[in-house]
Amino acid sequence: MAVARYLRDVDCRSQAVVIVFFDEEEQGELGSNAFAQLLVGDGRPVTAAYTADQLGWDQDGDRAIEIERPDGDLLQQLQASDDAGGFGLPLLQTNTGGTDHVAFRAHGIDAAGFSEEYVNGDTTPYYHQPTDTVDTVDFDYLAAATSLVAYHFARITTAP
């Protein structure tokens, strides 16, 4: 929601940004698959789909974000935004699947996922547990990741 609020006030955007929340990821990306199918079926042009999942844990304090299976030059674009915005967040490419970005790729839409270090071993021990509560969220890390995403979207949608 913070990204949507931020982008609402960005002047001179040349592209629309759609923010969507999905359910049923663990049941075969049902929500994201249905949405990707709708976009393609309606013939809507889509530049890329970015998904964010599990961005609230950073036990080792390195502020690293895993970029899951970035297509084309999406990783380079994200790194350029990180550099231009001065965020200094390590962006680590992984080949992680099984999350909502996979659904878009299956429909021919370039995609990438943002995540805490699931592959690199710094992921919440509270995953899918009743103890996964607001008290376990690293809000500074979440804010840094959210700021990068918002800045990146503003940057790529205001390009001439």
Of the CATH numbers 2.70.98.60, 3.20.20.140, 3.40.630.10, 3.40.50.150, which one belongs to the domain with range 2-157? 3.40.630.10
- One digit per residue, the tens of pLDDT, for the chain of length 160 reads 888 888 888 877 778 888 888 866 666 577 788 889 998 888 888 889 999 888 999 999 999 999 999 999 999 999 999 999 999 999 999 998 878 898 898 899 999 999 999 999 999 999 889 999 999 999 999 999 999 999 999 998 886 5
Please give the structure tokens belonging to residue 122: 């710094």
Distance CA 121, CA 116 (A): 9
Q: What is the pTM of this model?
A: 0.89
- Domain coordinates of the chain in residue numbers? 2-157
CA–CA distances in Å: residue 109 to residues 36, 41, 69, 124, 140 = 8, 12, 13, 29, 31
Pairing of the two strands 65-68 and 111-115: antiparallel
**Contact yes or no for 55/123 (Cβ under 8 A):** no
Residue type at 116 in one-letter notation: E
